[in-house]
Structure 1
Amino acid sequence: MGILDQIRSLFRPAPATHVPAPVPAPVPAVLATAGAGTAPPPERRGKERINAREGTRVLIIDDSKTIVTVLKKFLRSAGYETLEALDAESGLAQLHAQPPELIFLDIVLPGINGFAALRAIRRDPATRDIPVIMMSGNEQAMEQFFGTRIGADDFMKKPFSRYEVFFRIERLLDHDLIPRRAKPRIAEPGTQAPALT
């Protein structure tokens, strides 16, 4: 090789060396199948909810259609039957036509307010033993005291969660104010049981 060829060789790029890519280690069969399919559902925690008997009738008296709709959805999903009224007058009428086992009663209502309606319920021998949960957007101590003094069984602040609703119901169940297993409703001969909305 001449001197000129030696000089050219100094400026030639060095040939690329091939470096083999690393081979991933084999995945054990146990780990490979662990992610297949859907993961099992998380374990449900907490105490199992105690429901009243299926078909327990609940009357909801509230002038807010939103509150009525939400409460009705909660109750019906647990097997309760519901009656609804947007004012105390129509609520008291339904109370006598289709007696419920429980009443959710709002305090602020058009016309007759919830306190006056509660007094009427407690003065009537046919309805005085029906448990009543009063509802209000204001959690004032005076409201709770006044409601309890004239016969409310519990007080629930709005807005409320599903847990709050059934927590209140369970407290009444624990005190045997709502029947866990009531006698089935039997229509009188020649009559048809009223349809629920």
Structure 2
Amino acid sequence: MGLFDKIKALFGGEAQAQTQPPAPPEQEPLQPEPGVAERRKRARVNAREGTKVLIIDDSKTIVVALKKFLRSAGYETLEAFDAESGLALMQEQRPELVFLDIVLPGMNGFAALRTIRRDPQLRDIPVIMMSGNEQAMEQFFGTRIGADDFMKKPFSRYEIFFRIERLLDENLVPRRVIAKADQPTPTAPAP
């Protein structure tokens, strides 16, 4: 059903009756996604006050929304609208967390992430990749080039803070999630 049909149905039009049969009465109401109800029952855990977060996205709407949510929770934000500017800002201001869009003008998010992970000064900064493109999401999971998490657009306030909370250490500082394959293997002492 198109948007116009939905609007007509809301205002008493016959569009919904013609295009969509009523749901059977025995159908159960939609349940919230698993974990949401439990998450809402407990207090959110934020990073410590003043945590510096860099947002790299070419959409002003996304940047403004993320900035608003983060600042309302006491985070400091930095913004860049392309990867090159974001990388330069990372060198100058060293954020503690980065939200990085995949589809950007010029250098894309994957190339930017590779640059971050190869730079000894930046490689330990956690990065949450973002995209509204299904193919980009599949490519992200296929390449596994070092992102710490992934967030699909559009996103909710809950999802933003859920992703951040998963990266916090005991001191409420965002930390990289290091895969076991990336950790050095301890060597056994020689007999």
TM-score range, shorter chain: 0.5 to 0.7
Find the residue that maps to 1:155 and give its secondary structure: strand
How far is 1:170 from its partner? 0.8
How far is 1:180 from its partner? 1.3
Find the residue that maps to 1:58 and give its secondary structure: strand
Q: Residues of 1 paired with 2:130 and 2:172: CA distance?
A: 23
* Residue 144 (str. 1) matches residue 140 (str. 2): yes
**For the structure 1 residues 97 and 179, does the alpha-carbon distance in structure 2 shift closer, same or farther, using more than 3 Å as the test?**
farther
Which residue number corresponds to residue 180 of structure 1?
172
How far is 1:139 from its partner? 3.8
Cα deviation code 1:31-66 (max 9, x no counterpart): xxxxxxxxxxxxxx5110001100000000000000
Q: Residues of 1 paired with 2:120 and 2:140: CA distance?
A: 24
Find the residue that maps to 2:147 and give its secondary structure: coil
Give the partner amino acid of 2:164: I
Which residue number corresponds to residue 133 of structure 1?
128
Q: How does 1:92-171 map to 2 (within 5 A)?
A: 92-140=87-135, 142-146=138-142, 149-171=144-166
Cα deviation code 1:98-124 (max 9, x no counterpart): 000000000000000000000000000
Structure index of larger Rg: 1
Gaps of 5+ in 1: 1-44, 183-197
Which residue number corresponds to residue 54 of structure 2?
59
Give the partner amino acid of 2:139: E
**For the structure 1 residues 111 and 172, does the alpha-carbon distance in structure 2 shift closer, same or farther, using more than 3 Å as the test?**
same
How far is 1:67 from its partner? 0.2
Q: Residues of 2 paired with 1:52 and 1:108: CA distance?
A: 27
Over the residues paired in the alignment, what is the CA RMSD in angstroms? 1.7
How far is 1:181 from its partner? 5.8
Find the residue that maps to 1:172 and give its secondary structure: coil
How far is 1:179 from its partner? 5.0
Q: Residues of 2 paired with 1:129 and 1:179: CA distance?
A: 16
Gaps of 5+ in 2: 1-39, 175-191
TM-score normalized by the length of structure 1:
0.65
Percent sequence identity over aligned pairs = 78
Aligned pairs, number: 134
Q: Residues of 2 paired with 1:137 and 1:82: CA distance?
A: 22
Give the partner amino acid of 2:89: Q
Find the residue that maps to 1:103 and give its secondary structure: strand
Which residue number corresponds to residue 7 of structure 1?
none
Find the residue that maps to 1:59 and give its secondary structure: strand
